[in-house]
Structure 1
Amino acid sequence: MSANPLVGTGLIGTALLGVHAASVWFCTGLVWTIQLLVYPGFAAMTGPGWLDVHARHTRLMGRLIVLPWLVQGLTCAVLLVWRPPGVPLVLALAAGLCGAVTVAVTVAISVPCHTRLAHGWDAEVHARLTRTNWWRTAAWTLGGAVALAMLLVAA
């Protein structure tokens, strides 16, 4: 019998997978909303109030995404080191890769685009932001599928 009854019954592993899945799916829902609603809507708000609209978007988006994204990253890191019984390393690696893609695209492309848009509307920058955000959308969606797969295969 295990010294820790929570580990022996799988409650910690189930909780870890549940928290991971919840954080990934929150981010997935948010990125789809941004991709299909927010970014296209930016094109209709290019007038004199653009700087205020963009500043508000950036401020509120930061508040919405920071905690679930951090939780996703932390749970992913744990899953790479320790996995509940039945969860193969390949799924944890896939989750980590999906998470890494969201970070890489955000840091390398999205943040610089938003930095430029914070100084004024630029249709080319907006088009690049919207086009490349599909990479984050795909990565988070795939990461959500991986999170569900881990829940399903966990013993």
Structure 2
Amino acid sequence: MLLVVVHLAAVWFCVGLVWVVQVLVYPEFRAIERSAWREHHDHHTRLMTWTVCGPWAVQGVTCAALLVWRPAGVPFWLAVVAGVCGAATVAVTLGLSVPCHRRLAVAYDDGVLDRLVRTNWYRTAAWTAGGVVAVAMVLLAAP
């Protein structure tokens, strides 16, 4: 049971963070003074990396562990769905978000920021779905 609770906590930390980034942080990038853009973006990416790495790593480790050691009542397929949701956040981050941030690290670009905001919805959806799956696993786990 502890495994699914730790998983739930890590995933929901990430769910909350990705929603704040989606509806507040990324849209506010447009308001940053262009002369301070690079410094602001560098600061953002450095702090965001430290903020998300721990919980995201815990999510990954607990996803892997749940594929092998599940509490009674938690079906294997649900652990697989949790893993797919987690893998989707990694794929979107590496395939879409990181390239956008690399371009934004050089210079502000409205088109790149639009792409970042638009494609971050995939990550937001994947983490939110993973959060719902985590709740289901906690509810199904036998005490």
How far, CA to CA, are the matches of 1:46 and 1:86 in structure 2? 53
Answer with 1 or 2: which has the greater Rg: 1
- Structure 2 counterparts to residues 81-96 of structure 1, below 5 A: 81-96=68-83
How far, CA to CA, are the matches of 1:108 and 1:133 in structure 2? 11
Q: Which runs of 5+ in 2 are unaligned?
A: none
TM-score by length of 2: 0.98
How far, CA to CA, are the matches of 1:123 and 1:46 in structure 2? 13
1:35 corresponds to: 22
Contact 1:46–1:121 at 8 Å: present in 2 too?
Answer: no
TM-score by length of 1: 0.90
1:22 corresponds to: 9
Following superposition, the deviation at residue 46 of structure 1 comes to 4.5
- Structure 2 counterparts to residues 126-141 of structure 1, below 5 A: 126-141=113-128
Following superposition, the deviation at residue 47 of structure 1 comes to 1.3
How far, CA to CA, are the matches of 2:93 and 2:24 in structure 1? 18
2:99 corresponds to: 112
Please, which of 56, 62, 72 is the counterpart of residue 75 of structure 1? Answer: 62
CA RMSD, aligned part only?
0.6
1:10 corresponds to: none
How many percent of aligned residue pairs carry the same amino acid? 61
**Cα deviations across residues 32-82 of structure 1 (Å, max 9, x unaligned)?**
000000000001115100001100000000010000000000000000112
How far, CA to CA, are the matches of 2:28 and 2:92 in structure 1? 21
How far, CA to CA, are the matches of 1:52 and 1:15 in structure 2? 41
Q: Which runs of 5+ in 1 are unaligned?
A: 1-13
Higher relative contact order (CA 8 A, sep 6+): 2
Structure 1 residue 121 and structure 2 residue 108: aligned? yes
How far, CA to CA, are the matches of 1:147 and 1:129 in structure 2? 26
